[in-house]
Amino acid sequence: MTEFGFIDHIAALCGDLPLNSFEGIGDDCAAIEIGGGESLLFTADLVCEDVHFLRSASSAFDVGYKSLAVNLSDVAAMGARPVATLLSVSLPKDATEEWAEEFMRGYHALSKRYGVALVGGDTTRSASRITINVTAIGRMATSKIKRRSAAREGDVIFAGDVLGASGGGLNDILRGHPDTRLADLHRRPEPQIEEGLWLAEREEVHAMMDISDGLASDIRHIMEQSHVGAELDLGRIPVAEGVDLKTAATGGEDYKLLFTADPDRAKELMRDFENHFHRPIHPVGRITRGDKLRWMRNGEAVELDWHGFTHY
C-alpha cells in the first residue's frame, strides 16, 4: 500500500470519530483552542533508519537535530511558536551508547536554540534499526493561524528561501559524495521558525505550509485545501547554489515555507521581509481559478510531469 493510500484508508475509517474541539486534518498541524485567544498545535513525524537516514552517511548528532527540525518546521508552517516536544526513540543492540548520547546532543542543541521544552516520550529496544518519533506542540494566537485552505485566486505564491539544497545533498550522498556542502544541508536543514512567526503577523499572508516533499508536490496540498489552481513560473523558482531547476522544483526535505499573499500587498511584504531578515522571499507563481497546476516559462504554459521526491 502506498503512504497516501493508507492515509486515505485511515481518513475514511476514522471519519465517524468525534473531533473533541480539534481541527486541522489537511494542515501541517492539528489545533485546539485554549483560553485567552490562543491555540495549541500538534504534529508528529517518524524518522526511520535506512528510509530517512543512513547511519553511515549521517552523524548521530545530525539525526537528532533533523528529527526535531522537521517537526519544528511543521509548527512554523502555521505560524506558531514551538513550545514542547515528546520524543520516542527505539534503539537496536548495534546502536551504541555513544550514538544515543550524540543523538540527544543534536536534539538538545536545536531545542535549546528555539527554547523548546522536552516534556515526555518513550525509549525502548528495537529488534533492528533505529526509529524515532517526535511530536511537537506549538502555541499561537488563534486568529493568526495560517492554513493551507486560505489561498485565494490571484494570490502571489512565495517560497520562503531558495530550494533544492536538500535534494541536491541527497543526490550527492546517493552518488557516494557525503562530504559536500549540499549533503550537510540535507543532514541539517534549517526550518524557518522565526520567519513563520513573522509571517503569521501579516494579514496579507493567506495560506502557508512547509515544503517537505518538494514544491511540485506540496503546492497541490494548498490547491486541494483551497479549491484553487496554480501557475508556477519556471523562470522564478529560486534555485539553491549547485543544484538544477528540476531538483529545486521537486526535491524534498528543504523545510522552507511556501505561502500565498494578497497581490496588492506582495511588494510591501517582500520589502519588509528583506528589511527584517536580510534575505528575500521569492515569488514563484500565482493562485488561479480551477484545480490545475500549470508550469509557465516566459508567460507560456509548458508540459511537465514533475512530482515530489522519494526517500532512500
Among 56, 115, 298, 305, binds a copy of itself (CB under 8 A): 115
Q: Does 94 bind a copy of itself (CB under 8 A)?
A: no
Among 58, 67, 131, 171, binds a copy of itself (CB under 8 A): 131
Q: Of 13-21, 142-150, 179-187, 221-229, which part binds a copy of itself (CB under 8 A)?
A: 13-21
Residue count, binding to a copy of itself (CB under 8 A): 73
DSSP state of 80: P
Measured from the CB of residue 306, what is the shortest distance to a copy of itself in angstroms? 22
Task: State the Cα–Cα distance between residues 173 and 188, nearest whole angstrom.
Answer: 13
CA torsion 45→41→214→171, rounded to 10°?
A: -40
Measured from the CB of residue 268, what is the shortest distance to a copy of itself in angstroms? 33
Measured from the CB of residue 55, what is the shortest distance to a copy of itself in angstroms? 11
Asked if residues 60 and 100 have their Cβ atoms less than 8 Å apart, the reply is: yes
Q: Does 143 bind a copy of itself (CB under 8 A)?
A: no
Question: How far, in Å, are 260, 262, 268 from residue 265 at the CA level?
Answer: 11, 6, 5
Side-chain half-sphere exposure of 76, counting CA atoms within 13 A = 25
Q: For residue 67, give the 3-state DSSP assignment.
A: helix
Contact set for a copy of itself, span 183-212 (CB under 8 A): none
Q: Does 302 bind a copy of itself (CB under 8 A)?
A: no
Contact set for a copy of itself, span 24-63 (CB under 8 A): 24-25, 29-30, 32, 34-36, 40, 42-46, 48-52
Contact set for a copy of itself, span 73-92 (CB under 8 A): 83-84, 86-91
Q: Of 17-25, 172-180, 255-263, 295-303, which part binds a copy of itself (CB under 8 A)?
A: 17-25
DSSP 27-62: BSSEEEE-STTEEEEEEEEEEEBTTTB-TTTS-HHH
Q: Does 307 bind a copy of itself (CB under 8 A)?
A: no
Asked if residues 278 and 216 have their Cβ atoms less than 8 Å apart, the reply is: no
Q: Does 221 bind a copy of itself (CB under 8 A)?
A: no
Among 63, 137, 183, 230, binds a copy of itself (CB under 8 A): 137
Backbone angles phi, psi at 272, to 5 degrees: -65, -40
Strand 282-288 with 229-233, pairing: antiparallel
